[in-house]
Structure 1
Amino acid sequence: MVLAQTTEARRALAAEVTQGAMLIVGVMVGLGLAGTFLAVRYALRPVTSLADALRQRNPEDLTPMQTPAPDELRPFVGAINSFMTRLDLRVVRLQQFIADAAHQIRTPLTALAAQVDMLDADAMSEADRERTRRIKRRTGELAKLTNQLLSHAMVIHRAGVVQLEVTIW
């Protein structure tokens, strides 16, 4: 019967047990990380589907989202829907403002141009006729500039809506 063990043998046994334990711990850590990754991915699937639904929406589509969502995401979907409703209202107000501005600016300019056209050039001195021509020219320039600015505002506002068609000549 042998009761003694050499120091070298004990060290070898300890190294063997340590290596086995480290291998088991490494495998367990790897399985734990993989399991955690899969669990998080599964848990975030509703968030991913909501993000996909938002990403696939047309930029002009400001209607509320009808994407089913779990209880945890309903406040988030509600906030998105509320934001889109407010944004849609703002777009409508902007369109109304541009239309009103166009009418409010163009109407007086048209009336001014008509008044200048009705002036009797025969009853005027040459200096008055020259002033009338300048008024007419400046009124036309102002009307053109106003139309360009209002058209530019509408183009900028509808930039995402415009669909261009390629024509090959």
Structure 2
Amino acid sequence: MIKLICLLSVTASALLARADYGGIGQIHVWNSSDWRDATPVDNVGCLGDSGKFVNSVKDADCGVFSRSAEYPYALSPKSGNCTFNDETQERNTDSIYGGSDYAYNCLKSFQSDVYDDLYTIDGFPYTFLCNGDVNCYYDAKKIPTEGQKTNLWPYRWGSQQMGITPGHVMLQLVWNKTGDL
């Protein structure tokens, strides 16, 4: 019986993926509303150096982000630190609960703090990136056409808006590690 329990414990531990979230990489965007069903087939683009959602199959159009190993663990491209708190960016005014959210943006003059961190949760089948209080989904008005870019906001919902903002798409961000720092 003890051997069976040990075997089950080892098997369960092996099934929970330990996310390799560090170094340098790209942030892919998947058209997904459920992490349990999401696969690389759902890839519809990436985040560019400005933090905007770009529909491209070319890696050259995707930003190269590095994750700081030190507090506040910022994830940044060469254009600077990224945030959902840049007041110069468009708000998600179509959303009942996200109306005060600003679009994701990366800029040199911005000093990151811990609230700007994108993180992952061990156990996901892929390295999905979350923000805030376990929010692992994002909102965009549409999937941009090839070579175009669009804004991305945190996904918000509540009793008056149970799903994605009407007319918008629900997305997930996925870390694609390409190297070490």
TM-score, structure 2 normalization: 0.20
**More strand as a share of residues:** 2
Q: Which structure is richer in relative contact order (CA contacts within 8 A, separation 6 or more)?
A: 2
Flag the structure with larger Rg: 1
TM-score, structure 1 normalization: 0.21
